[in-house]
Amino acid sequence: MQQPPADESVIRPRPGAVPLPAPAAVVVAMLTGLAVLGLWFVLYAVFFSGLQESHTQRVLYSQLRYELAQATVPLGGTIAARTPIAYLQIPAIGLSQVIVEGTSAEDLASGPGHLPDSPLPGQAGDSVIYGRSLTFGGPFANVQKLRPGTIITITTGQSALGFRVIDVRGPGDPVPTPTQFGQSSITLVTSAGHGWRNGWAPDHVIYADATLVIGKIQPAPSGRPTAVPAIDGEMAGDPAALLPVFLWLAALVLVAAGLAWAYTRWTGWQLWLVGVPAVLALLWLTTSYAILLLPNLA
């Protein structure tokens, strides 16, 4: 007897595959998608964000060198966010980073950031510099290992300066006295974790205080900010990133649905050629905004 022609519109399981009921298949697909998204977020936070920060630092270093040679590095007044203002070196912990203006989560994705309402390094008063301990390369991951007497070198548009570490303190520890701080000082601010959380899940702020010992106090031009927005505070996230996260995540879901439809009609190489770049691009955009919701010092 002649068999009826196959209906190409019917999706049949591959040989040897055990078909799942439709509800179970949907649940499995959703759980798989969430697992992949979570794994990607961890990889981005720990590894890919560091590559991004390293590239940004190379660009900022070239810009800062040029501006130092041209004597155009900002010295005060209102400075645009993420503008390079100084070069930080701590040989004792292998740290060399360009300091940018601003301490929001987005600012600190570029490297250590200077708190805008504090004086610039080397000027009278305490200059506050934030840095991440884990994500985006974790430039301040080893700041908690600094010991009293360690020398920190900072090159600004005004001078090359040396600061001697007073101590590293955590929550509840005594703040150095005005005599210890001196007329010009810096405070490095980052995060750390207690016990088993240390190194991967920071939950408190630590401070490394240092006083000027090499170089003279520099003049401070007027016009500096007297306050900063909440997103520049310690352990603050950026709520403004929530909308981009939602939009890019929605785009990712739509692309995934489109690829599921294409799976029934395209060959394997066509699906990979179109799907992989699109999914990776949307994953990158989604996570690059989602990570800004986390504490800025993490």
Domain-embedded: residue 20 = no
Predicted local distance difference test score (pLDDT) of residue 9: 47
Domain-embedded: residue 35 = no
**Does residue 4 register a pLDDT over 90?**
no
Query: How many separate domains does the chain show?
Result: 1
Domain-embedded: residue 293 = no
pLDDT above 70: percentage of residues in the chain: 88
Domain-embedded: residue 297 = no
**What average pLDDT does the segment 225-252 reach?**
95
Domain-embedded: residue 206 = yes
pLDDT above 90: percentage of residues in the chain: 70
Domain-embedded: residue 247 = no
Domain-embedded: residue 163 = yes
Least confident range from 30-39, 141-150, 221-230: namely 30-39
Predicted local distance difference test score (pLDDT) of residue 173: 95
What tokens appear for 212 in the block? 């000027």
- Tell me how crowded residue 157 is: count the other CB atoms within 10 A of its CB: 20
Predicted local distance difference test score (pLDDT) of residue 30: 67
156: closest CA among 218, 87, 209? Answer: 87
What's the angle, vertex CA 120, arms to CA 117 and CA 123, rounded to 5? Answer: 115
Domain-embedded: residue 249 = no
| pLDDT category of residue 37 using cuts at 50, 70 and 90 | confident
| CATH number, position 99 | 2.40.260.10
Structural domain range at position 72:
46-232
Record the pTM: 0.86
